[in-house]
Homo-oligomer: A and B are copies of this chain.
């Protein structure tokens, strides 16, 4: 189907799935509003994700703020490295993404991994021009542009805050408490569904590249030496894989294999493979078309700095592949960084008990409280703790005259005499380890978009053209619509009764009595309602009473007894 993108956008607007926000004010690129149908579809997809990736796996969900202050993003690396390359036209002032400019105007497919210097070279080599005014961009500098939205917290500008570019950091920074709730035992998983923000240089229309979006992320904290995924759960799930080695050979060189074989043959890391298997099943359930779907491995230079292996779930719409999820083995990168930057290494590790206590040589640090006590009074033990941590990080500072530490904004100088560093033979019952992290990360908006695009159909019923969304009943905004044939009291009373009964049974139900019955069927077809029930005059002619039950995809109609209506709906969903 050509122009599926435009068709979905048009239907999205007309039926209330999604549309450019604040249109009355001209809107701003990159911000979309989910209308009533879209918000319901999105929520159903989120709840389904929650059941699959959080509840069923025994993981727990948290909700951290979307604004965090500067030190968090200094630690995570986002402040320094979360950039896109920007080029500003000196003639008209239009800013463009420099790597996209190269991709759109040369044979190069993936320019994101190049350096700014390389991109400048390519712009010169191909004599590229501004897409807005055609002015030459040769000799114009390519700069790094940080993608985080910045703001000031509180009065004044001292406290910089950033809108999180991924929900993940909200989980990592809270690790010290989260491990307590897990009773300091690995493995455990924490999920979060929430907003994330990226100040894209050139957002696209629709839901694919937006500046505000929803992520559903799972951070699974594991002991890489001890823990293994329950592969048996998904071992036979078939995957369509597009590994790095095959990517040179074009799109027909997919590897189709089971989760078990993908692991055995060393194509995919076992943890990543486990989640690919769970994700594949989930995508099938919510209605992603598996003939337009693949898992693609990242090229080494395309991988984020932290990931040792990374695969994307990709869906095809109008011939283009859209990344809809990423599965990364992040190793110990994040927790190590936060341990270092926060100065609280222990908070970001977990104590792992040995099977048998071991005898090891260890550095111990003794602080003489008879010196600190009189000098620092009630703060002495806190100062001692700070000194201990500082010396742990670099024992050599104990050789200097004094050690300086900060506590509640005050500086304290501690005489080195009070600090003794010793090498001792000790019996250890275990050690602190930094957990590794496996991260399945889903873009919810793009998933919503894929589900809409993949369920979009056009057909003809009695030579009348029809548009429908063949949505999976597990995510459709409405499961059953109930109509009275006409807006007459007898009919509408019974139709309302049936609505109520079905609602009480747990179905999502819509009641509609406006317009002729054909129009009402079309309306429900276009918002993807699997089943329509009509109360008509025949209803009362029969004993027991019957109604017409119509299926969306086939448009087949059947008369069903009102007393059996719940079962009739259930069996058709």
A197 within 8 Å of B (CB atoms): yes
The answer to whether A39 touches B21 (Cβ under 8 A) is no
A277 within 8 A of B: no
Cβ-defined contact, B68 with A22, below 8 A: yes
Interface 1/0 per residue, A44-64 and B, CB below 8 Å: 000000000000000011111
Task: Decide: A195 and B151 in contact? CB cutoff 8 A.
Answer: no
In the complex, what residue of chain B is closest to A143 when comparing beta carbons?
Answer: B155
Residues 213-235 (chain A) with a chain B CB within 8 angstroms: none
Does residue A333 face the partner (Cβ distance < 8 Å to B)? Answer: no
Assess whether B25 is in contact with A181, with CB atoms less than 8 Å apart. Answer: no
Copies of the protein in its oligomer = 2
Q: Cα distance A175–B21 when bound, in Å?
A: 11
C-alpha gap A514/B183 in the complex (Å):
9
Closest residue of B by beta carbon distance from A163: B151
Residues of chain B within 8 A (CB-CB) of A60 are 36
- A404 CB to closest chain B CB (Å) equals 18
Chain B CB within 8 A of A115 CB: no
**Contact pick for A21, options B36, B42, B68, CB 8 Å:** B68
B153 touching A150, Cβ below 8 Å: no
A140-163 with Cβ < 8 A to chain B: 145, 149-156, 159, 161, 163
> Is B178 within 8 A of A35, CB to CB?
yes
Question: Is there contact, CB below 8 Å, between A156 and B35?
Answer: no
Given A67-B31, A69-B28, A150-B152: A36 in contact with B62 (beta carbons within 8 A): yes
Pair B177/A19 contact, Cβ less than 8 Å:
yes
Contact: B154 with A199, CB < 8 Å?
A: yes
Q: How far, in Å, is A534 (CB) from chain B's closest CB?
A: 20
Most-contacted residue by chain B among A24, A36, A63 (CB, 10 A): A24
Contact B156 A95 (CB under 8 A): yes
Docked CA distance A563–B64 (Å): 41
Residues B33 and A170 in contact, CB atoms below 8 Å apart: yes
The reply to whether B62 and A35 contact each other, CB–CB distance below 8 Å, is yes
A174 touches B61 (CB 8 A): no
Q: What chain B residues lie within 8 Å of A86 (beta carbons)?
A: 155
Nearest chain B CB to A188's CB is how many angstroms away? Answer: 10
B24 to A342, Cβ gap below 8 A?
yes
Digitize A62-75: 1 where CB-to-B-CB distance is under 8 Å, 0 elsewhere: 11111111011001
Residue A326 at the chain B interface, CB threshold 8 Å: no
**Which residue on chain B has the smallest CB distance to residue A183?**
B514
Q: Of B21, B32, B33, B344, which one neighbours A24 at CB under 8 angstroms? A: B344
Q: Does A211 contact B (CB under 8 A)?
A: yes
CB-nearest residue of chain B relative to A170? B33
Q: Is the CB of B95 within 8 A of A197?
A: no
* Contact assessment for A177 and B72 in the assembled complex, using a CB-CB cutoff below 8 Å: no
- Cβ-based interface call for A566 (8 A): no
In the complex, the chain B residue whose C-beta lies closest to that of A16 is: B181
Interface status of A280 (Cβ within 8 A of chain B): no
CA distance A31 to B72 in the complex (A): 14
A535 near B: Cβ within 8 Å?
A: no
A338 within 8 A of B: yes
CA distance A344 to B24 in the complex (A): 7
Known contacts A35-B181, A61-B39; is-contact A25 B66 (Cβ 8 Å): no
Complex Cα distance A348/B72, Å? 43
Q: Is the CB of B154 within 8 A of A24?
A: no
Instruction: List 7 additional A-B contacts (Cβ < 8 Å) besides A25-B71, A35-B177, A155-B201.
Output: A13-B177, A24-B344, A28-B161, A30-B153, A39-B61, A65-B212, A145-B155
Nearest 9 A-B pairs (CB), nearest first?
A: A36-B60, A24-B342, A34-B63, A95-B155, A31-B65, A25-B71, A39-B63, A33-B64, A16-B181
* A/B interface sample: 30 pairs, CB < 8 A: A16-B181, A21-B65, A22-B174, A23-B174, A24-B175, A24-B344, A25-B173, A25-B341, A28-B153, A28-B159, A29-B154, A30-B154, A33-B62, A33-B65, A33-B174, A34-B62, A40-B61, A42-B63, A43-B61, A65-B212, A67-B211, A67-B212, A88-B155, A95-B155, A149-B152, A149-B161, A150-B151, A153-B199, A154-B200, A195-B195
User: Could you tell me which A residues sit within 8 Å of B by CB distance?
Assistant: 13, 15-16, 19, 21-26, 28-36, 38-40, 42-43, 60-69, 71-72, 75, 86, 88, 95, 145, 149-156, 159, 161, 163, 170, 173-178, 181, 183, 190, 195, 197, 199-201, 211-212, 338, 341-342, 344, 347-348, 514
